[in-house]
Structure 1
Amino acid sequence: MPALTLAHQRLSGVMVISVSGELDATNRAQLETYLRGIRPGHGARLVFDLSQVPFMDSSGLHVLLMCTTDCLKNGGTVHLAGVQPLPARLFEITGVLAHVPVHDTLEEAITTATERSI
């Protein structure tokens, strides 16, 4: 299994978090720790670039949903971008698509997140 790689960049009005590799029970703590370390802050607009995540299980989904809940409680938003087929199926089955905006491309997600922060 490929190692999970995480990176982020702060753009005007939005923070992009890039995730690469399979996201599951073996590395969910790595993502949780990373998110705590970057401290998005009150009103944060987050975009998760998932274009390099071929597989995600329910534990990875749980981390994303907890992050989303925290952001919403603090006046922010979370957008998902570039979701691959297997994670997309998980989002569909669990009803996540009704609660978290999913965009085909990173550019689309950034544009939408930025527009809503104005």
Structure 2
Amino acid sequence: MTHNQPLTLSVRHPADSIAVLTVTGEIDVDSAPALRTRALELIRQGRPHLVLDLAPVEFCDSSGLNTMIGILRYAKDRHGSLSLAATPPHLTRLLDVTGVGELIPALPTTAEALIRIAMPGDAPEEQETR
């Protein structure tokens, strides 16, 4: 890693059962546990639908992808969901190459992720990536 930007997490609650967690910095073996802990905490607090706003993410390795899969499983076990929003191009490529993008919906914006949660039956089957 060249940047060594620490991971910062900020949360907003656009609805009772939804949390948007904005992730800034690098998601790697050192920082992934903090992301997992905070995400699972939000789900346990009654916000089973989680959106990760990844626009400010500068780097993500396989630990970050494994963390996202773990968060998805935890959310689904509690009748929730995990969506990714505003994934930067380097992360979109990683999601595509590894197949994780097939498991976790990635939408162009946080607003579109929130609409998908609010109206899951109205969401298009295939989301276009930018």
TM-score (norm 1): 0.88
Which of 26, 42, 45 matches 1:38?
42
User: Match for 2:92 among 78, 83, 88?
Assistant: 88
Structure 2 stretches lacking a partner, 5+ long: 122-130
Identity fraction in percent: 29
Preserved CA contact (<8 Å) 2:85 2:108: yes
* CA distance 1:39–1:98, change in 2 (3 Å): closer
Pick from 106, 116, 125 the counterpart of residue 102 of structure 1.
Answer: 106
**Comparing 11-20 and 55-64, the one that deviates more:** 11-20
Q: Which residue of 1 is the match for residue 126 of structure 2? A: none
1:68 aligns with 72
Question: 1:4 is aligned with what amino acid?
Answer: L
Distance 2:27 2:112 in 1: 23
Q: CA deviation at 1:60?
A: 0.8
Q: Aligned to 1:26, what secondary structure does the other structure show?
A: coil
Q: Please, which moves more after superposition, 101-110 or 24-33?
A: 24-33
AA of the residue aligned to 1:29: P
Per-residue CA deviations over 1:92-118 (Å, capped at 9, x if unaligned) read: 11111211111011111111112239x
Q: How many correspondences in the alignment?
A: 117
More relative contact order in 1 or in 2 (CA 8 Å, sep 6+)?
Answer: 1
- State the structure with more CA Rg: 2
CA RMSD of aligned residues (A): 1.9
Asked if 1:4 is matched to 2:27, the reply is: no
Contact residue 11 and residue 20 of structure 2 kept, 8 A: yes
Which stretch of the first structure deviates more once superposed, 86-95 or 36-45? 36-45
Distance 1:67 1:28 in 2: 11
